[in-house]
Amino acid sequence: MDEIWGQACAALETSVGPNNFNHWIKPLRLTGVDAGIAHFASPTRFISDWVNRHFAKDILGELSRHGQPVERLRFDVVPQTAPGRARPAPAPTAAAAAPAKPMRPVASAAAPATARVGRTDLGAPLDPRYTFGNFIVGKPNELAHAAARRVAEGGPVGFNPLFLYGGVGLGKTHLMHAIAHDYQTRHPMAQVLYLSAEQFMYRFVQALRESTIMDFKGMFRNVNMLMVDDVQFIAGKDSTQEEFFHTFNALVDQGKQIVISADRAPAEIKGLEERIKSRLSCGLIVDLHPTTYELRLGILQSKTEGFRAQQPDLEIGTGVLEFLANRITTNVRVLEGALQRLFAHASLLRREITLEVAQECLADILRTNDRKISIDDIQRKVAEHYNIRLADMVGPKRARNVARPRQIAMYLAKQLTSRSLPEIGRRFGGRDHTTIMHGIRKIEELVTEDHALAEDVALLKRLLEA
Ligand code: ADP
Ligand code: MG
C-alpha cells in the first residue's frame, strides 16, 4: 500500500506541480483502502476540503494507474501538531470531508483528543465570500487593509496583536476572515482559530462547568493564529477576561499571531482591564473610518458586477448607484442589503432599475438614513432646552449651568451619532477627546442618581430621534 501511494505521489508531484504537491498532498497519509474507498489522514479539515475540491480526480487517476483502483476518497482529520495529544484515527466515516462546505477554521475541525461528541467545534465558520479579493479598498480602510494583508503573509512582522476597530458594518469581520483565508492558504499546516469574544466566553464557561479547563487552555495555546472578533463583549466579564489575558500572553510570548477586533479603541472600552489595554497597545491598533462617498460607490459597483455575472440582463439606469452612495451612508451592510433588495425587485418584476424604482423600492431605508442626527442638531436642541446660547456649547465657560448642558450634548452626540470622541471634541470647540470622555462619563453617572436630569436626557433623546 505504501509503495503504491509512493508511486502515485511521484506522479502527482509532476501532474499538479511541486508547489501544490508539497502544500496539499504531501501532508496526507493513506491509511487504507476499503470497498473502493481510499481513506486518508489529513492534518486539517482545510487541507482535506481543498484536496477534495481540486485534486480528487488526479489522486483517483494515479491510484488506479498504479494498481489500486478506487472510486472515492475519504478524509479523516488527524491533527499532527500537538505531540502527545494525537488521538487514534476515528471511524473512517466520521470526518469525511464534503466538498463545497464553507471553509472552517482548522482548529475547529481538528479539535484534539479532548473533543467530545457534540462539542468539537471550537471556532466559528468562516464566510468564504469574505476575502481580500472582495474587499474594496478606499481612504477610510486602506491602513486597516494594509495591516491585515501584512499579518496574513505571516512573516516576522511585529504587528502583534493586530487590533482592528471601527463602527458597525465597516468591514472588521470581513477583514478578519480574509486574513484567515489568506494565511491558511499560505500556511496550510498552521492552525487558525477564529471566533467571537462571545463564543470565547461561552466555551470558557462550558469548560469550567465540565471541568475541562485544562483541555480548553491547551486547545487555545496550540493554535498558530488566534482571532477574536468583537472583543468589547468580554468587557466587565471578569473571569473571562482573566482567561483571555492568559491565553493572549501565552500566545504572544510564543510569537503566535493574534488578531482582535472591537467596535472602539482599547482605551474607550469600559470595563476592560488596564493590563489588557496596555498589552493590546503593544501591537498595532488601526481603525476603520466611516465610509466615504467614493468607497461606497466602489463597493456598489463591485457588488453590481457580481450580480450582473449571474444575471446579465439586469439593467441599471445611470445615476442609480451614485444616488445610493449619496443617500445610504450608515454602513456597508445596509448598503449591500439595499442593493440586494433592488436586484431582487427588478428581477422579479423584470423591470429596469431606474431612479424612481430605486426610490420606491427603498423608501424605508432612505427615510431612516434621512433621519441621521447631526451634532449641530444636538447642540441646538440642548441649548434651546436649557436656555443657554448656542455659542456656549463650544465656548470655554465652566459655570455649572453651561457646563452641564454641554456635557449632556456630548453624551447625546456619542449616543446618537457615529462620531468618534476626537471628532466630537473638534465639534465642541476643539476640546480634547479625554474632556469629551470625562463629560460623557459624568452624565452616565448622573443619569443613574439624578432623576430630573435623567428625564431631561430621555426627553432630549426622544425629541432628536423623532
Ligand atoms: P463589521 O464586522 O465591521 O461590523 P462586516 O465585516 O460584517 O462589518 O461588514 C458588513 C458587510 O459589509 C459585509 O457583508 C462585508 O462584506 C461588507 N463590507 C464592508 N466593508 C467592505 C469593503 N470595503 N468592501 C466590500 N465589502 C465590504
Ligand atoms: Mg463584525
Q: Could you tell me the residue ranges of all domains in the chain?
A: 2-77, 104-287, 293-369, 375-465
**Ligand 1 centroid distance, CA of 290 (Å):** 12
pLDDT in tens, 182-195: 999 999 888 999 99
CA distance 16 to 40: 18
pLDDT in the model for residue 197 = 93
DSSP-assigned states of every residue in 77-119: E---SSTTT--PPPPTTTTPPPTTPPP--HHHHT--TT--TT-
Output the CA–CA distances (angstroms, integers) from residue 305 to 227, 240, 297, 329, in the order listed: 31, 44, 12, 21
Q: What is the pLDDT of residue 15?
A: 84
- Using a 6 Å cutoff on CB, does residue 431 contact ligand 1? no
What is the reported pLDDT for 301? Answer: 92
| CB of 173 closer than 6 angstroms to any ligand 1 atom | yes
Give pLDDT, residue 327.
84
Q: Is 173 annotated as a binding residue?
A: yes
Say if pTM beats, i.e. exceeds, 0.75: no
Please provide the CATH number assigned to the domain covering 293-369. Answer: 1.10.8.60
- Tell me whether strands 37-42 and 29-34 are parallel, antiparallel or unpaired: antiparallel
pLDDT score at 270: 85
Q: What's the pLDDT at 279?
A: 85
Q: Decide whether any atom of ligand 1 lies within 6 Å of the 299 Cβ.
A: yes
32 phi-psi bin (left φ>0, alpha ψ -120 to 50, beta other): left
pLDDT attached to residue 80: 61
Spatial separation of the C-alpha atoms in residues 420 and 166, rounded to whole Å: 9
Residue nearest to atom 18 of ligand 1 (CA): 171
Residue ranges in the chain modelled with pLDDT below 50: 81-121
Task: Quote the ligand 1 centre to 13 CA distance (angstroms).
Answer: 39
Provide the pLDDT for residue 119. 28
Instruction: Name the pairing type of β-strands 162-166 and 192-196.
Output: unpaired
pLDDT given at position 216 = 86
For domain 104-287, is the CATH number 3.40.50.300?
A: yes
Whether 169 is in the pocket of ligand 1, judged by its Cβ within 6 Å, is: yes
Specify the fold of 375-465: Chromosomal Replication Initiator Protein Dnaa; Chain: A; (1.10.1750)
**CATH number attached to the domain at 2-77:** 3.30.300.180
CA–centroid distance, residue 168 to ligand 2 (Å): 7
Nearest bound ligand to the CA of residue 232: 2
Q: For ligand 1, atom 23, which residue shows the shortest CA distance?
A: 136
